[in-house]
Amino acid sequence: MDVVTATLERHFGFSRFRPGQREVVDAILDGRPVVGVMPTGAGKSLCYQLPALLLDGVTVVVSPLIALMKDQVDSLRERGIAAAYLNSTLDMGEQRQVLDDAANGRIKLLYVSPERFRFQGAWAAMQRLPISLFAIDEAHCISHWGHDFRPDYQNLGRVARELGVPRVAAFTATATPQVRFDIVRSLELSDPMVTVAGFLRDNLHLAVLPIRRMKEKPRYAREIIEKAGGPAVVYCATRKNCEEAALELGRAGIETVVYHGGLDDEARTAAQDAFATRDDLVIVATNAFGMGVDKPNVRAVVHWDVPGSIDAYYQEAGRAGRDGKPAWCTLLFTYADTRVQEFFIDNGGENLPPAARTARAESERQKLRAMVRYAYEEECRHAAILRYFGDRVLGCDPESEDGASCDNCKPQAGLDGVKVTSPAAARDAAREPEPRCDPRRLDEDEEIIVQKVLSAVARAHGRLSSRIIARVLKGSRSREVLKDPLAASKSYGLLSTMSEAALVGLLGALGRDGCTTGRYPMLTDRGKEAMWRKLQLELDVPPFGERTKPARGAATTPPAELSAEAEDLFRQLKQARFNAAKERGVAPFVIASNRLLEQLATLEPDASRDDWLRVKGVGEINVDPLREVFLPVLQGA
Ligand code: ADP
Ligand code: MG
Ligand code: ZN
């Protein structure tokens, strides 16, 4: 065993490092400047405490919270580690004693408040200390972009330089690039190792539910809260929404207390106490609720409205499942709710000053856009959040039974039976109604296709939505498809000439017929018989086939299927739509529906405006913006 691991065990009693810790410790020991970005509770202290024990001399730890300094020092002393602190709670004599002990090698870790360096006596004494490591905790206090800027932190670069410390390490839970940049610049770190780690909360199930009618919010919230079965927090953007949400939830039979900045202290304390002591209560709150609240067994955090940033979302959602047991974090999302956040950016919010017209407002708009992208994310939500923070962890592992889960990777995880649809399914349902007809006998070719589809359903074992199964059959190269074992099976690309819409429609019909069951379909006995072609099916879908069929009907009716070339064009149009949506910070369907893209891919209107106006779904209002986005694609094709 190496000396670092041995120290971890002997002095701290831990058998292994948490994510990020080991590499930070090694870098510090190597003498490289370090910025460690890890969320609260991830174990930042150990990253400097352990090297402190292995290095000669004393480690000076700058910490802004005098109250926490004493706790830290006490817990180190309990572990037999020589530690002390230097702050305004000590009198002159005590301070001198501490500095004396440090100078004489009797202290390994010296905690100092940032103001101490201003005092001549302490400064002179510190210049004589054999400092081996200068560690700065809560380093975001350096930055104006952080939430608690401390002027004294801005001197720490100069302090480190003038003390001539050989190693500097800074730690924070704030992961925004601006803050990170300010830390590196202000501390004058050259070639620092920046480690972002520990952001994965693998007991949380992350989900987003698209809201089409406001009535759905209380209904969904109730289902989630009841299913999660424990204390829950419902976060709202405004005080008014809190009151409304509490009322609606009350009507739905859920007992709530309300907490927001508009209540007097007494009411807030009462709400907080009730929530702290009872396990059958839902607290409906603005972001004013959170600081200092630490109920470990919160089982669900529901966001009634979209928050202003992923940072805010993850902090609030992260209050679920502190005990490490599964918990559910669900955002009820409708794009209209972003207007409240826009309003906050312009006018200030519950805990926010107005951002004015400044660089700050632009940065907050960007954060809001990132939040909206999260809501529309089609791949792993954990991965999306970790990517946002710059953490390297991949996200959900579809192979593992427990661990991180999200609605895009493991739709069924945990909250089985909640009737609310997954966002992808709801979006698709809203966008592309499946064509139906009276039940009809299938022809031979169609039966073979059904056989292939049912065998894919069998292989999916209830893991995948119809849409994903359809994509596997089409041979899609999207990540969510490729990461599933089904993509490595014979089903992959087996029906590549059929359209995804036709396959999804067929899967729907097979469900209605009783061959499959569930939104993440599994084969029934009837389905097995159909798969072996032991029975003659009658399905309520229009004719479908593996070969490309000429578009039927007039130009204004959408083709049921696209030819291979049109499929290709359709994909390019989707890409253009995605780019345009990203550029404007809106959802793709705001730019154009899939239906419309199918039309464009099939009809390929030329450059003339009139030709475009003949396409169903194109009118005077949208013709110009549509041409701007999509004409280049059609002309390139
Ligand atoms: P942070 O400063 O990042 O918020 P702390 O340093 O206060 O987090 O650590 C949070 C908790 O995690 C502490 O109780 C600490 O003892 C514990 N901890 C730290 N590292 C490990 C580890 N490698 N294994 C187990 N527990 C750890
Ligand atoms: Mg800490
Ligand atoms: Zn995921």
Asked if 394 and 506 sit in the same domain, the reply is: no
Residue among 8, 9, 12 to mutate when testing ligand 1 (max atoms within 8 A of CB): 12
426 and 283, same domain (yes or no): yes
Q: What is the pLDDT of residues 21-57, one digit of tens each?
A: 999 999 999 999 999 999 888 999 999 999 999 999 9
Q: Which of 367, 398, 430 is the last residue of a domain?
A: 430
Number of domains the chain contains: 4
Is 554 a member of any domain?
no
Nearest-atom index, ligand 1, CA of 198? 3
- Residues linked to residue 517 through DSSP beta bridges, in sequence order: 522
Q: Is 82 in the pocket of ligand 1 (CB under 6 A)?
A: no
Residue scoring higher pLDDT (395 or 136)? 136
Q: How far apart are CA 24 and CA 467, in angstroms?
A: 43
Q: What is the pLDDT of residues 333-344, one digit of tens each?
A: 998 999 999 999
- In 3D space, the residue among 446, 470, 467 whose CA is nearest the CA of residue 456 turns out to be 470
Q: Is the pLDDT of residue 347 over 70?
A: yes
**Whether 190 and 236 share a structural domain:** no
Q: Determine whether the shortest distance from the Cβ of 38 to ligand 1 is under 6 A.
A: yes
In this predicted structure, the answer to whether residue 425 has a pLDDT above a threshold of 80 is: no
Q: Ligand 1: distance of its center to the CA of 20 in Å?
A: 12
Query: Angle formed by the axes of helices 120-127 and 92-103, to 10°?
Result: 10
Is 377 found in the same domain as 499?
A: no
Q: Is residue 91 part of a domain?
A: yes
Residue type, 208: V
499 and 580 in a single domain? The answer is no
Half-sphere exposure of 102 (CA within 13 A, CB side): 28
**Ligand 1 near 171 CB (within 6 A):** no
Distance (Å) from CA 10 to ligand 1 centroid: 16
DSSP state of 278: -
* Cα angle, residue 240 at apex, residues 235 and 245 outer, rounded to 5°: 50
Residue 171 lies in a domain: yes
Q: Is residue 420 part of a domain?
A: yes
Q: Has residue 549 been placed in a domain?
A: no
* Any atom of ligand 1 within 6 Å of the Cβ of 14: yes
Whether 22 is covered by a domain: the verdict is: yes
Annotate 197-266 with DSSP letters as a single string: -----TTEEEEEEE-SSTTHHHHHHHHHHHHHTS-EEEE-SSHHHHHHHHHHHHHTT--EEEE-TTS-HH
Domain end marker among 401, 430, 459: 430
Evaluate: CB of 41 within 6 angstroms of ligand 1: yes
527 burial type by CB count under 10 A (0-12 exposed, 13-18 middle, 19+ buried): buried
Closest ligand relative to 139 C-alpha:
2
- pLDDT tier, 559 (very low <50, low <70, confident <90, very high otherwise): very low
| 229 within ligand 1 shell (Cβ under 6 A) | no
Look at strands 300-303 and 282-285 and give their pairing.
unpaired
pLDDT recorded at residue 560: 47
* Nearest protein CA to atom 20 of ligand 1, as residue: 43
Give residue 558's pLDDT: 35
Nearest CA to ligand 1 atom 19: 43
Q: Is residue 552 situated within a structural domain?
A: no
The closest residue, in CA terms, to atom 23 on ligand 1 is 17
CATH of the domain at 136: 3.40.50.300
46 Cβ closer than 6 Å to some ligand 1 atom: yes
Residues 446 and 417 grouped into a single domain? no
CA separation, residue 435 to residues 69, 378, 429, 469, 553 (Å): 66, 24, 12, 18, 15
Same-domain status, 24 and 139: yes
User: What pLDDT is attached to residue 624?
Assistant: 86
* C-alpha 198 – ligand 1 centre gap (Å): 11
Q: Which of 395, 430, 465 is the last residue in one of the domains?
A: 430
Report if residue 327 sits inside a domain: yes
Q: How far does residue 48's CA lie from ligand 1's centre (Å)?
A: 12
**Token reading at 157:** 């670069």
258 and 339 in a single domain? The answer is yes
Contacts of 407 (CB under 8 A, 6+ apart): 205, 206, 207, 208, 381, 422, 423, 424
CATH number, domain containing residue 532 = 1.10.10.10
Q: Which domain holds residue 569?
A: 564-634
Ligand 1 pocket, 324 CB below 6 A? no
Q: Within this chain, do residues 487 and 619 fall inside the same structural domain, yes or no? A: no
Q: What is the pTM of this model?
A: 0.63
**pLDDT band for position 99 (cuts 50, 70, 90):** very high
Q: What is the pLDDT of residue 159?
A: 96
Q: Are residues 396 and 451 in the same domain?
A: no
pLDDT, tens digit, for every residue of 446-479?
988 999 999 999 988 888 888 889 989 988 877 7
**pLDDT tens, position by position, 533-557:** 888 888 988 888 875 433 333 333 3
Lookup: tokens for 238: 């405004």
- Distance (Å) from CA 614 to ligand 1 centroid: 64
Residues 171 and 212 in one domain: no
Please tell me the residue having the least CA distance from ligand 1 atom 25: 14
451 and 528 co-located in one domain: yes
Tell which phi-psi region holds residue 459, choosing left (phi > 0), alpha (psi between -120 and 50) or beta.
Answer: alpha
